[in-house]
Amino acid sequence: MLPKKGRKLPKWDGVLAGRQVYAETIAQLLEREHGGTHRAVKQVMKLTDASERTVKHWLSGQHGPDTVFFLRLVTSSPVIRAFVIGLIESSQGAGNDRHGVDQQAARRPSKPSDTQLTRQDRRQNDRINDPKTDPINDPITAELNERQRWFLGRVAAGHWCRAADICGHWKVSAKTARRDIAALSAMGLIRFTGARRNGRYRPASGAG
């Protein structure tokens, strides 16, 4: 893609990044195939129909062949043709490797998000309404806070009340709500009856 301003193309970061590197590479390939003698000059002149001066510049690495002469070298020189094919195959191999990594990532099973969890999964992972797994993270004290008194009052009045109700009414985290309920249970003020999904908290026998 051309830059928005200026007349120069963006810098090429791949193989043969500069003109001098290109010229030196062609010189090495020609010397490998034809040697460095005057006979090599005649052979390359015959293959490309270039002038003697031009071929000497190629062999010395002063500059590389332009498009037409380069294409003639590709079609007539096995060494340069093999070099070009190697460049193409190496770039394709790198692209295939990246494509293979992308395909492996696409085939790798993704972790289901919260919206993809089924109702049963959410119920099994819901530890808020399970009194057996309610964590007790702080030391339980005999003094009740205002959230606990509110929760205990609603339970005593026969209301269906759980940790989510504390979160919604008092704007606290689920961890705090679970801790409040766990403290009430540990002090013997409430008990959980029924199944985990449909059960409810009730005042403990003798509480109140």
**CATH code, domain with 135:** 1.10.10.10
Mean pLDDT of the chain: 75
CA angle, corner 197, sides to 196 and 200, nearest 5? 70
| Percent of the chain residues topping a pLDDT of 70 | 64
Q: Is residue 58 in a domain?
A: yes
Which residues fall within 8 angstroms of residue 31, CB to CB, at 6 or more apart? 40, 59
In a domain, 168, yes or no: yes
Q: Distance (Å, rounded) from C-alpha 56 to C-alpha 39? A: 11
4-28 pLDDT, tens digit per residue, is 555 665 565 655 667 888 888 888 8
User: Contact at 8 Å (CB) between 75 and 81?
Assistant: yes
pLDDT of 107 reads 63
Q: Is residue 102 part of a domain?
A: no
Q: Are residues 69 and 133 in the same domain?
A: no
Query: Are residue 134 and residue 194 in the same domain, yes or no?
Result: yes
CA-CA distance, 57 to 64, in Å (whole number)?
Answer: 8
Indicate whether 88 and 148 sit together in one domain: no
Find the CATH number of the domain harbouring 68.
1.10.260
Residue 25 and residue 79 share a domain: yes
Residue 185 in any domain: the answer is yes
Give yes or no for residue 206 having a pLDDT over 60. no
pLDDT band, residue 141 (cuts 50/70/90): very low
One-letter identity of residue 31: E
pTM: 0.41
Distance CA 184, CA 207 (A): 11
User: Domain for residue 181, yes or no?
Assistant: yes
Tokens of 126: 């819901």
45 belongs to a structural domain:
yes
- Domain endpoint, select from 36, 68, 92: 92
Selected residue with higher pLDDT from 25 and 116: 25
Residue 153 lies in a domain: yes
Residue 28 shares a structural domain with residue 81: yes
Phi/psi of residue 191, each to 5°? -145, 155
Measure the CA–CA gap between 70 and 19, rounded to whole angstroms.
13
Average pLDDT rounded to a whole number, residues 118-127: 50
Residue burial 27-36, b: 16+ Cβ < 10 Å; e: rest: bebbbebbee
Total domains in the chain come to 2
Q: Which of 76, 92, 108 is the last residue of a domain?
A: 92
Q: Is residue 122 part of a domain?
A: no
pLDDT in tens, 177-189: 999 999 998 888 8
SS3 for the chain, per residue?
CCCCCCCCCCCCCCCCCCHHHHHHHHHHHHHHHHCCCHHHHHHHHHHHCCCHHHHHHHHHCCCCCCHHHHHHHHHHCHHHHHHHHHHHHHHHHHHHHHHHHHHHHHHCCCCCCHHHCCHHHHHHHCCCCCCCCCCCCCCCCCCCCHHHHHHHHHHHCCCCCCHHHHHHHHCCCHHHHHHHHHHHHHCCCEEEECCCCCCEEEECCCCC
Look up the domain containing 171 and give its range. 129-203
Of the residues 92, 117, 150, which one is the last residue of a structural domain? 92
